Amino acid sequence: MKTITIETLLALAVLITLASVLGMLRMRDPYQRLHYIAAPASLSAVFITIAIFLQQGLKPECFKAVFTTLALIGMNTVVTHAAARAFRIAETKNWKPKKGETVPIQRGDERVGDGRKEAA
């Protein structure tokens, strides 16, 4: 039972990572691509850590895996935000949205934050 659980967790971790990489490649916008880093940094790392604990038990060395996972989760959020902010500043010189600014996602998509839509 333990072996099956470990194999399932590892399979999930690998599948999530591969799916995230392939999904990231499908996106054309860097802001959209940044979202795909979250899944392997959080889910895959947690699954691998649980599998390590199942395999090794509560040994002190296994807590290094916990620390690695916490580092990945915590720091990925900071780096993702910093990168998105840097991209925005490189484009517009100021990362805060301008008054009445809309966010078109793709040509033909409904505009997010469109004042006329909100008024209607």
Interface residue list for another protein (CB under 8 A)? 3, 6-7, 10-11, 13-14, 17-18, 20-22, 24-25, 30, 33-34, 36-37, 40-41, 44-45, 48-49, 51-52, 55-56, 59, 61-62, 64-65, 67-68, 71-72, 75-76, 78-80, 82-83, 85-87, 89-90
Question: From CA 10, how far away is CA 73, in angstroms rounded?
Answer: 18
- Name the residue nearer to another protein (CB basis): 95 or 112: 95
- Name the residue nearer to another protein (CB basis): 28 or 107: 28
Sign of the Cα torsion 27, 32, 34, 38 reads negative
CB of 20 to another protein, least distance (A): 8
